[in-house]
Each structure stands twice: as C-alpha cells, then as structure tokens.
Amino acid sequence: MTAWVLLPVVAGLSLLLTGGLRHYALARSLMDIPNARSSHSVPTPRGGGVAIVLSFLLALPLLAAAGLADWSLVWALLGAGAGIAVIGFLDDHRHIAARWRLLGHFGGAVWALFWLGGLPSLQLFGHLLDLGWLGHVLAAVYLVWVLNLYNFMDGIDGIASIEAVCVCLGGALLLVLPGLEGTGHATWVLLLLAGAVCGFLFWNFPPAQIFMGDAGSGFLGITLGILSLQAAWTAPQLLWSWVILLGVFIVDATYTLLHRMLRGEKVYEAHRSHAYQHAARQLGGHLPVTLVVAAINLCWLLPMALWVSWGGVDGMLGVLIAYVPLVGVAIKFQAGAAELGR
C-alpha cells in the first residue's frame, strides 16, 4: 500500500470510527452536558477524538515498514500518544486528580524525548546554542505545556481540529521547501495525522455532532509537540517556524493563564474566558471564530513560518513579529477576563 493510498484510508477509517463512537455515546448517554462554564448549549456526545488516535497510530507502523517514517519517531509517537490518550480517555469517563494527570503527561514527554534524542541545539540570532540537560528539561516542560494548552483550547466546535489540520499541512510544507528535501520522512506522518483529523472534522465541524474529549485533544497536543521537536532535529530554524504555526493556541492559552493567575484564580478549574470563547459569544456562534482561526493560520502564521524557514528573519524575531497581532487580538477579546455578569 503506497502512502497516497494510505491517506484516504486513514481519513475514511477516522470518519467511520467517529460515527461509531457517536452512536455508542448516544446509546450509553455519554454526553457533555452544558453548564455555566460551557461554550455550547446543547447536550452533545463526547470522546470522538479516540477515532483520531486509533486511525493514526494503527497506520504509523505501516509508514515505517515502508521506509516512509523513521522508527525512532514512530516509537516516540506510539508510546507517548497512546499513553496520553489513555489518560485522557479515563479522565473523560472518571475524573483523575490533576497531579496524577500531570505525572502521566511528564512520563509521556520523557518517553518521547528518549526516542527523539532530547532537545536539539537551538538557533538564536545566527548562533547554535546547546543547552545540554537544561534543554532536555525545558523540552519536557514544552511538551507538557503544548499538550495542556490543546486541552484548554478545545472549547468550541471545530477549533482544535482546524488548528491541527492547518499546523500539519504547514509543517509538511516546511519540509518540502527547496534545501530541505530528503531531510526526513516526517512529511508523511504529518499528512497522515491531517487525514485522521479530517475524518473526525466531518462530525466536529460547527455545529458539532460529537466532541473530541481529552483523549483526542491531549493526544493532538503531545503529537504536535513531538513533531515540532523532530522538525528542529531536521533543521534548527524549524522549531521557531513550528512555534509560529502553533501561535493562535500558544498565545491565547498562555495569555489567558497568566491573566487568571494575576487575578488569583485557580488556573486548573474549568472556565470560558479564553479569547476565542469571548469572541464566539460576541460574534454569535462558533463557526465565525473557527473560520477566522483557519484564516489567521493560513494567511498570517504560515507565511511567517515560511519566512523563518527560508532564513529571511531570525527565528526568535520572527516569533515576536508573528505574535504581536495575536496578543492584540487576545487583549481585544479580553482573554482571561471574567465573563461579564458572572
């Protein structure tokens, strides 16, 4: 089976599995019931992200066996991705204390870093910087943060799916640019993940017929984090390009968290004070916000990521330029501010 045949197969499998999971959730009353902290108003089945996990992880070894993916990357994704998905699945069905979830998250990060070789040298203002063991620690924190911010940002219909597809396609484009051909087989892995998410997105596009759940959002977070570090091993500047591609989620989640911490709120409690949640209420629905996120990714962040990968601007400077308008959007929509009337 060629990779081009495998892609639609994975997308189709994800679509069918999501439909099956929706039927199962409805039959077992596994519903996400709206409450004061929800961004939706209709009870909706949850747990559909398991379809992404299964369809993607089942196909990964086939890519590696065909010589289209490095086994070290595959083992990193299989172990960390499956572990994080199981933690999320259990938390979807019965609450797991935050400290145990966090311990499991760091366990998944350590597993992935073992297979990747840790954090590669960073490119900073034209110089390569090897942080040694400190770099490995920072890489673990980075993976755990990307994982959790993806959970935080999965709050309205389609947004986490659209973000994953845009980032995967953007990351794949970075790897096929002139000068980077033949540097690795992560391109097929990215396209495979995008296909798996597209199958789920059929059911999750606004208005969503099923939600992703922590199993899916946590899995996407750790997987995209791992792929960003793998890209940095391919070419150091690509880490900054990936940080740019993930900018919408990184800026909104980080700004919101910092704002809530400064107000003395418990940051681990559920809320709906992210910029995208305020925007959804102001714009009267989820669809406009999800489409705007896609537009920002494709029309602003992708060109900036390409500029960095081409060497047109230093990576750190490129991130700052890319993030300035995103911070402006977070301020405009009062990210982290308490909802009026509550």
SS3 state at 251:
helix
CA–CA dist 74, 185 (Å, integer): 11
Report, in angstroms and rounded to the nearest whole number, the Rg of the chain calculated over CA atoms: 19
* pLDDT of 40 higher than 70: no
Query: How many other CB atoms sit within 10 Å of the CB of residue 28?
Result: 10
- The predicted pLDDT at position 309 comes to 92
Helix or strand (DSSP H, E) at 124? strand 122-124
The residue-averaged pLDDT of 132-149 equals 96
* pLDDT of 271 higher than 60: yes
* pLDDT of 103 higher than 60: yes
pLDDT category at 261 given cuts 50, 70, 90 is confident
* pLDDT of 20 higher than 50: yes
- The predicted pLDDT at position 168 comes to 98
Is-contact 124 234, C-beta < 8 A?
no
Is-contact 225 146, C-beta < 8 A?
yes
Question: 214-230 burial by CB neighbour count: b if 16+ within 10 A, else e?
Answer: bbbbbbbbbbbbbbbbb
pLDDT in tens, 314-333: 999 999 999 999 999 999 99
Helix or strand (DSSP H, E) at 129? strand 127-129
- The predicted pLDDT at position 124 comes to 86
* pLDDT of 181 higher than 60: no
The residue-averaged pLDDT of 87-115 equals 93
pLDDT in tens, 125-135: 878 899 999 99
The residue-averaged pLDDT of 260-284 equals 85
Identify residue 43 by its one-letter amino acid code: P
- The predicted pLDDT at position 268 comes to 67
79 compared with 41, residue with greater pLDDT: 79
The residue-averaged pLDDT of 202-215 equals 95
* Beta-bridge partner residues of 32: 44
* Beta-bridge partner residues of 44: 32
Most confidently modeled of 8-17, 38-47, 96-105?
A: 8-17
What is the number of residues in the chain?
A: 342
* pLDDT of 180 higher than 70: no
* pLDDT of 184 higher than 90: no
- The predicted pLDDT at position 267 comes to 67
* Beta-bridge partner residues of 129: 122
Average pLDDT score, the chain: 91
Q: Which residues contact 100 (CB under 8 A, 6 or more apart)?
A: none
- The predicted pLDDT at position 179 comes to 61
- The predicted pLDDT at position 300 comes to 98
- The predicted pLDDT at position 42 comes to 80
- The predicted pLDDT at position 125 comes to 82
Is-contact 172 187, C-beta < 8 A?
yes
Report phi then psi at 2, rounded to 5.
-75, 160
pLDDT category at 178 given cuts 50, 70, 90 is low
- The predicted pLDDT at position 229 comes to 96
- The predicted pLDDT at position 48 comes to 95
pLDDT category at 342 given cuts 50, 70, 90 is very low
CA–CA dist 262, 273 (Å, integer): 14
